[in-house]
Amino acid sequence: AQSVTQPDIHITVSEGASLELRCNYSYGATPYLFWYVQSPGQGLQLLLKYFSGDTLVQGIKGFEAEFKRSQSSFNLRKPSVHWSDAAEYFCAVGAIQAGTALIFGKGTTLSVSS
Amino acid sequence: GAVVSQHPSRVICKSGTSVKIECRSLDFQATTMFWYRQFPKQSLMLMATSNEGSKATYEQGVEKDKFLINHASLTLSTLTVTSAHPEDSSFYICSASDDRDSIYTFGSGTRLTVV
């Protein structure tokens, strides 16, 4: 079955500390992988995506993610977290086939402490 | 970049009435549009997929007669919640794809409250 697992429901990090949000996927075809961020009551903003090529992907707001096929993982990282990064983060997987909907993980809530 | 406009952002309606939510792609042709529903503190659940000019494909458990989806043009899709009930209160988000680049752009969402 196709699925996305985000093992951590809620993470709290100190401002300035590093961050890693985990994402594992199960997909029958070559996956497209995405990370989105959502602020309360808002839509989703794309942080980064992986289609092919370099497995380390750079995104907006200083985020990066690394695709590891052997581990079926696509973990999101940021070296130094800012208070404004507090939000909900969703990992998603989609197919290369056009017109296929994304499958989302349950999300990880990030809190940033001062 | 690709922009998707979703309106209204917030709507309150009485039980038994219908509500229409619009999703527009502003600077690209959205061959496929997706409608999601999000409950508080939960993930996005796909409701249906619509392709321009054809009937929407609904996910299992989603009532197609209650959630009417129209995708009449390459830039507009609408979701109509018919005979709304309090249990339909939720956050609805659309997503548009141009298929060519596999870019999925999301609207800002609609908070529906049925009283």
Q: For residue A46, give how far its alpha carbon lies from the nearest alpha carbon of chain B (Å).
A: 8
Which two three-digit tokens encode residue A62? Answer: 């200083």
Q: Tokens 């109509």 sit at which residue?
A: B80
A90 or A101: which leads in pLDDT: A90
Structure tokens at A11: 């993470």
Question: How many CB atoms are located within 10 Å of the residue B63 CB?
Answer: 10
Residue type, A23: C
- For chain B, the maximum distance between any two Cα atoms, rounded to a whole number of angstroms, is 41
Q: Nearest-CA residue of chain B relative to A49?
A: B103
Fill in the DSSP letter of residue A38: E
Q: What is the pLDDT of residues A34-76, one digit of tens each?
A: 999 999 888 899 999 998 889 999 999 999 999 999 999 999 9
Q: Mapped to the 3 state alphabet, what secondary structure does chain B carry?
A: CCCEEEECCEEEECCCCCEEEEEEECCCCCCEEEEEEECCCCCEEEEEEEECCCCCEECCCCCCCCEEEEEEECCEEEEEECCCCHHHCEEEEEEEECCCCCCEEECCCEEEEEC
Measured between beta carbons, which residues in chain B are less than 8 angstroms from residue A102?
34, 95, 104
Contact B109 A42 (CB under 8 A): yes
* A96 has pLDDT over 90: no
Instruction: Quote the minimal CA–CA distance from A87 to chain B in Å.
Output: 11
Instruction: Taking the CA atoms of B62, A49, A52 and A27 in sequence, report the sign of the dihedral they define.
Output: negative
**Residue A43 confidence (pLDDT):** 86
Q: Is A40 on the interface with B (CB under 8 A)?
A: no
Return the pLDDT at A95: 80
A36 to chain B, any CB pair closer than 8 A? The answer is yes
Q: Could you list the pLDDT tens digit for every one of the 115 residues in chain B?
A: 788 999 999 999 999 999 999 999 998 888 899 999 998 878 899 999 998 888 899 999 999 999 999 988 889 999 999 999 999 999 999 999 886 666 788 999 999 999 9
Q: For an interface test with A, which of B25, B29, B35, B104 has the most A Cβ atoms less than 10 Å from its Cβ?
A: B104
